[in-house]
Chains A and B, each alone.
Chain A
Amino acid sequence: MQKTEKKPIIKVENLTARFGDHTVLSDVTFKVYRGEILVILGGSGCGKSTLMKHMVGLHVPYTGRVLIDGIDVNTDDDRQLNQLRRKIGVSFQSGALFGSMTLGENVALPLREHMHLPEEAVNGIVRMKLAMVNLAGFENHLPSELSGGMQKRAGLARAMALDPMVLFFDEPSAGLDPVTGVELDIMIKRLNSGMGTTMVVVTHELQSIFNISDRVIMLDKDAKGIIAEGDPKVLKDSDDQRVHNFFNREPAGHEKEV
């Protein structure tokens, strides 16, 4: 790994996320470095997805800010925002493919809208991206004709269409069988080392955390923030009971073991 030059690409500064009176995250600060795979993890309801939605600018923070490559994701400057949107790609939980378009059209959409490329170039890029996620030849299929795992991969191909600097993944292996899940993990790893794309992954699948992550941050519902940060293999032996329970799949006391 080329982790020698640790340059931050995303900075989250003092982020507080609130819905009405309910504070989900309070004063969260961390950095994501260029080229790494950062996994955001934690139990259900701890605010992982909320944090990711703030990082991509879908939610507006109550206080604090998120900078991606120096641009505030909630900036009012349309030009900057456009630049930013080309630098990030998001792979949604269920693919979020447009049901009325074929896979090829789905992937071509950002290329056609954001770039002025010759048609053969668009077609070439579409085929390349689909091949990268092992869907070569599926460009004329509709999303509804594919299995869940294939839809997710196609969503990834669309997220990668503009060669983003940062890719966000929301629960990449949720709802997939173990084999498909691990294949997706390997694919994420392969694309990360091949293209050097920074990746931010939200998940709670232990196996996949150990497979892909360079570094993790762990959120907690009660702490409303980060309770642990670092290498998952180290965190596994953490002294913090909450972290220990998570990594070792142990009950937190809500259910007695029989």
Chain B
Amino acid sequence: MNNLAPQAETYGLDVEGQKGQDVRFALSGRIALDNVYGLLEELRTKIEEMRPAKLEVDLAQVEYLDSSGALALIFLEKEAKKKDVPFEFVNTTEEAQRILGLIDPEELDVPPLRQEIRLNFFEFVGKTSLELGAEGYNLLGFFGKLLTSLLYLVFRPRQIRWGEVLVYMQKTGVEAFPILGMMSLLMGLVLAFMSSFTLREFGAMIYVAALVDVAFTRELGSLLTGILIAGRSGSSFAAEIGTMKVNEEVDALEVMGFEPVRFLAVPKVLATMFVMPVLTLYSMLFGILGGFLAAVTLLDLTIFTYVNETRKALEFFDIFYSLFKSVIYGMIIAVIGCQRGFQVRGGAQEVGTATTSAVVAGLFLIIVAAAVLSIVDQYIRPFFG
């Protein structure tokens, strides 16, 4: 097997002729992609030195010539012609002739059919704003479509694919329990521990309990859950629908008479909205548990004091309002995930872009919604309190 290629490993070059007269370069050996540009440099310097009146390149001894090697020789020919030096290949072997024949020098100079377009700053800003506008419009359009689908299904609840809803509740909800519990527990622990440094200075250690409690029931429980689900499930919805779009499965649904939004998006949105309050409640519980663990083990609070203080700080309005917020977050996450999925056109790369953008846009809108809802909180609290 080793005696397969008794070829020379590299090229050889013999120069015949006088400076300023007819010059012949006799090439030999192996001329290929990996060494031809070295050869080309060598030939260029030789031409520079000798300034030949006429140039002949002898290919008789060439054992192996690949297409890149041939291309480099054609480059040389072009350069010579540019300098008005007559140039000729002589003693071309049959194989070399075939390869040179494959390359059409004319086609090498064909200008690209499309020039690269570079935008200046203003064009870039303009284009980006237009895209942003279109994106908002798309999102709103999709949201409207989803709402009409939901409205339609409210009157025909048996058309909802409940089996699918349960599957997604399992994926989005049940499977998120361990990580969410872990996250909330540690968050509560850290919150209690960190705040204790400041509170201790004021001799107000006892308020650690209230602080953790209020933080989790008012804001952190729903927000942490939202962030986690946006990362876990929003992305997976976008990837799933996006891949279906790439594989033409969405088109298949459409021609079979299924409304893709109703068929694919509604179960995901409903499932997410159903599990979000449960997850939020769970997150609150574990957050407070984390605070409790920190307080009784690391700080000098007794179990009784902590529980008692927590009960005093607990307000049912906070919890209910948080659960309501979590439903809104869930809807945002699922709607954006699905919408980004449906936006995919083209290939695998688009799916990745859609997934990223589902998470980024989801997180952004959750934060915005959290801000808006906490203002609303201030206005409606008196009616319930």
Contacts and interface: CB of A to CB of B under 8 A. Distances in A.
Interface in A84-107: 99-100, 104
Contact of B347 (A34, A99, A139, A191): A99
A140 B101 contact: no
A140 B114 contact: yes
A131 B107 contact: yes
A214 interface: no
B68 interface: yes
A132 B102 CA distance: 7
B95 A196 contact: yes
Interface stretch (A43-51, A117-125, A200-208): A117-125
Interface residues of B, number: 35
B4 interface: yes
B33 A115 contact: yes
A34 B95 CA distance: 14
B69 to A, nearest CB: 8
A136 interface: yes
Interface string B323-356: 0000000000000000000000011111000000
B37 A117 contact: yes
Contact of B113 (A11, A117, A140): A140
Contact of A69 (B4, B115, B347): B4
B112 interface: yes
A144 B98 CA distance: 33
A138 B71 CA distance: 19
Nearest to B70: A128
A233 interface: no
A193 B102 CA distance: 10
Given A144-B346, A191-B102, A115 B113 contact: no
Interface in A109-153: 115, 117-118, 121, 124-125, 127-129, 131-132, 136-141, 143-144
A163 to B, nearest CB: 4
A249 to B, nearest CB: 29
Contacts of B112: 104, 137-140
B68 A194 contact: no
Nearest to A101: B349
Contacts of B45: none
Interface string A139-171: 111011000000000000000101100000000
B2 A70 contact: yes
A160 B102 CA distance: 13
Nearest to B2: A70
A236 interface: no
Contacts of A11: 1
Contacts of A138: 112-113
B243 to A, nearest CB: 14
B340 to A, nearest CB: 18
B67 A132 contact: yes
Contact of A67 (B1, B75, B102): B1
A193 B95 CA distance: 9
Interface string B287-324: 00000000000000000000000000000000000000
Contacts of A115: 33-34
A40 B45 CA distance: 49
Contacts of A121: 37, 68, 72
B349 A99 contact: yes
A7 B5 CA distance: 9
Most buried by A among B75, B101, B107, B346: B107
A9 to B, nearest CB: 7
Contacts of A139: 112
A141 B113 contact: yes
B346 A99 contact: yes
Contact of B114 (A125, A141, A190): A141
Given A121-B72, A124-B108, A194-B99, A140 B116 contact: yes
Interface in A169-202: 190-191, 193-196
A211 B66 CA distance: 25
B104 interface: yes
Contacts of B4: 7-9, 34, 69-70
Interface of A: 7-9, 11, 34, 67, 69-70, 99-100, 104, 115, 117-118, 121, 124-125, 127-129, 131-132, 136-141, 143-144, 160, 162-163, 190-191, 193-196
27 contacts: A7-B4, A9-B4, A67-B1, A69-B4, A70-B4, A100-B349, A115-B33, A121-B37, A124-B71, A127-B108, A128-B67, A131-B107, A131-B108, A132-B67, A132-B102, A136-B110, A137-B111, A138-B112, A138-B113, A139-B112, A140-B112, A143-B347, A163-B32, A163-B66, A195-B67, A195-B98, A195-B102
Interface of B: 1-2, 4-5, 32-34, 37, 66-68, 71-72, 75, 95, 98-99, 101-104, 107-108, 110-116, 346-350
Given A136-B110, A163-B68, A191-B102, 12 more contacts: A11-B1, A99-B346, A100-B349, A127-B110, A128-B67, A132-B67, A160-B67, A190-B102, A193-B98, A194-B98, A194-B99, A195-B98
